[in-house]
Amino acid sequence: MSFAGINYLAVVFAAIAAFVIGALYYGLMSKPWMKAARLSPQGTGMNPVIFMTSFLAELVMAWVLAGVIGHLGSGEVTPWNGIISGAFVWLGFIATTLVVNQRYEGFGWDLTIIDGLHWLLVALAMGAIIGFMGV
């Protein structure tokens, strides 16, 4: 299933993988993340709007990453090149944005490292899936 060179099935699978990674990662890192983010367990809830927003954002992220990977050219869309592309996108855009935003917001490096590792895992998984399934 593709349109204009993008495999939308790969995009959906990549977004689902990102969502699952987030659920597992922050499930394991919930206590250190809440401390770093200065949140109390009583003040948080399972708001479905937040989860829907997260999934929609991950769909957009996967779609854009598929476009980036697709620009590598014919025969270059591979799992390895997808992983490398995900790593470059993470380093150039995601990690740098986290660092700047969280410094201005007054958070410590512990939150940046926790969130940054999550987004690195997401970018690598998305790149691998898109590279494997093709754009």
pTM of the model: 0.92
pLDDT tens series, the chain, 135 aa: 545 679 999 999 999 999 999 999 999 999 999 999 998 877 666 789 999 999 999 999 999 999 999 999 889 999 999 999 999 999 999 999 999 999 999 999 999 999 999 999 999 999 999 999 987
CB contact burial 27-39 (16+ within 10 A = b; e otherwise)? eeeeeebeebbee
What is the spatial distance between Cα 82 and Cα 65, in angstroms, rounded to a whole number? 9
**Beta-strand runs (E) in 1-135:** 2-3, 6-7
The pLDDT assigned to 113 comes to 98
